[in-house]
Chain A
Amino acid sequence: MPFNSLRFIGFLAAAAAMHAALPARYRAFFLLAASYVYCAAWSPEGALLLLAATAVAYAAARRLESNNAEGGVVLCGGLVALLGALALFKYAPGFIAPVGISYYTFKLVSYIVDVFWEKVPAEKSFTRFAAYAAFFPQIPSGPIARASQLLPELAAARGPSAENVIAAARLILFGFFEKAVVADRLGAMIDAAKAAGPSGGSELFVIYAYCWRLYADFSGITHIAIGAALLFGLGSPRNFAAPFYAPNIQEFWRRWHISLTSWLTDYVFMPSRMALRDHGERGLAASLIVTMLLIGVWHGPALSFLVFGALNGAYMVVSALTLRRRDAFFAKRPALARARAVAGPAATFHLVALSFAFFQSATPGEAAALLRGAVAGGGAPIPWGEASELALFAASFAAMEAVHLYQAYPRVKEFVRARPAWAVSLAFYAAMIGGLLLSRAPSKGFIYFRF
């Protein structure tokens, strides 16, 4: 039941309506049941694995809270079981990773570590805890919600307000727009460029277009997930904040896949940085590289994901070790600082695009061929499609970015809120519905679904 299917929309609407109609005390159980129906529809074995992982985390956390003397052993046991299962299903040959295993494992791991660190209490209700782990809007692609946020909301079981439902409808509509109108259109253009054959000169187009396609695709499924959660009155962590306008690479990683990078910051970077803090800049570099390599291989066992992680690790080390000096340099030179405001985001985007050339390729060799073609250039035309399609795409892209800027920058939000509300709503709904009705891009699966 992929999110961009009528079956999912029907399932979501029915589940949300039943949930809202139920008395509060049955809501967590209902969400749990609906989530397992959703998971079992993908694969019954996958649902059983989720149940087993949930039971391990639940028991480990209860044990951690009742007996802190053996805390280290219980924590290690829990982590080995959860991460071992993830590694086995994700990386071992012959195994097929069940839907959502990456995302719910990260939820469960953060929960038992937080209980060990005494940041959250161990949840007593297994129903509520299992509903947190299996919450179906977050199963296919996150965002990775923390127990400290979602468990209290599940316990309160407030259900959605009228404002929640309206906001949810807007988010879901926007998510479909990002996916079906922008991402799938870019996907079709990339396919056409690739079909034109190697060294056609359109490699540069493929490299740039893929960045935006991945972003629109992933941001789209995230908005659908956030909107779907809101239909049950539940909040979600943020996943994006206009990442391609980030002024430096550190800022980019604070604005891209935020729920994953903040997870890795808390549970990988921070502990390893603490452990290596007596080693100065080498300790910092090692912690950053380990974190970024993990981001890379989290996507899968391919060598190209490792290169993606290593490249970003190198960027982060250079940036972290020089940022203070760069800031001091530009602080004394106002004219150059103005140029930096434009050059910084442009350079950051290109560094990211270079790493995404590896991310999108099956092997590093394939990425190298893509990059060689981009540098060599050539005369092959870029497959923009017909003029009307291109115009629709350009307008849709501008509408998507207007919403992203509105979400990420308070100044843009203030500007928009100073306009008449009816005009803003009219523009938004006209763009979304118009784009969805007019777009003829062939539907594709979500990219982040397979991670």
Chain B
Amino acid sequence: MDEAAARLQLQEVMRDVFSDSSIEIFDEMTAADVTGWDSLNHINLVIAVERSFGVRLTTKDVAALRNVGGMLALLRAKLT
């Protein structure tokens, strides 16, 4: 999958989940950078990402996530 397209797609998903159209994602972005990114919304984000990208993540995948860059790397690995 095209790296830039995946990044844009993830950004759209995050804007939708956190109801904030101004979110601009970057690799080092974490929950602390986004208002409303708490443990409840984290799983909502995972569900939305799974739907949007057509992948299935495991609890271990999700537990090991550190930041947005990690999420993109995980998606890249799942999609290839």
Contact = CB atoms under 8 A, between A and B. Distances in A.
A284 B40 contact: yes
Interface in B8-52: 19, 38-40, 42-43, 46-47
Interface stretch (A124-132, A268-276, A344-352): A268-276
Interface in A289-340: 320, 324
Size bin of chain A's contact surface = 10 to 19
Contacts of B1: none
A250 B63 contact: no
A119 interface: yes
A277 B47 contact: yes
A116 B59 CA distance: 11
Interface of B: 19, 38-40, 42-43, 46-47, 58-60, 62-64
Nearest to A262: B39
Interface of A: 116-119, 250, 254, 265-266, 269-271, 273-275, 277, 284, 320, 324
Contact of B38 (A250, A271, A284): A250
Contacts of B40: 250, 284, 320
Contact of A119 (B19, B38, B43, B63): B63
Contact of A117 (B38, B46, B60): B60
B43 A266 contact: no
Contacts, number: 36
A270 B60 contact: no
Ranked 10 nearest A-B pairs via Cβ = A117-B63, A274-B59, A273-B43, A265-B39, A271-B59, A117-B60, A277-B47, A320-B40, A117-B64, A119-B64
A327 to B, nearest CB: 8
Most-contacted residue by chain B among A116, A119, A265, A273 (CB, 10 A): A273
A274 B62 contact: yes
Nearest to A319: B40
Contacts of A117: 59-60, 63-64
B64 A270 contact: no
B74 to A, nearest CB: 13
B59 A266 contact: no
Given A117-B63, A119-B64, A274-B62, A269 B39 contact: yes
Contacts of A277: 43, 46-47
B63 A270 contact: yes
A119 B46 CA distance: 18
Given A320-B40, A324-B19, A270 B62 contact: yes
18 contacts: A117-B63, A117-B64, A118-B60, A118-B64, A119-B63, A250-B38, A254-B38, A269-B39, A270-B59, A270-B62, A271-B59, A274-B43, A274-B46, A274-B58, A274-B59, A275-B59, A277-B47, A324-B19
B49 to A, nearest CB: 11
Contact of A270 (B19, B43, B47): B43
Contacts of B62: 270, 274
A381 B8 CA distance: 65
A273 B43 CA distance: 7
Contacts of B39: 265, 269-270
B15 to A, nearest CB: 15
A252 to B, nearest CB: 13
Contacts of A271: 59
Given A277-B47, A284-B43, A320-B40, 18 more contacts: A117-B59, A117-B60, A117-B63, A117-B64, A118-B60, A118-B64, A119-B64, A270-B39, A270-B42, A270-B62, A270-B63, A271-B59, A273-B43, A274-B43, A274-B46, A274-B58, A275-B59, A277-B46
B38 A266 contact: no
A265 B63 CA distance: 11
Most-contacted residue by chain A among B40, B42, B46 (CB, 10 A): B40
A250 B41 CA distance: 12
Nearest to A278: B47
A119 B60 CA distance: 9
Contacts of A116: 60
A63 B40 CA distance: 33
A141 B1 CA distance: 50
A324 B40 CA distance: 12
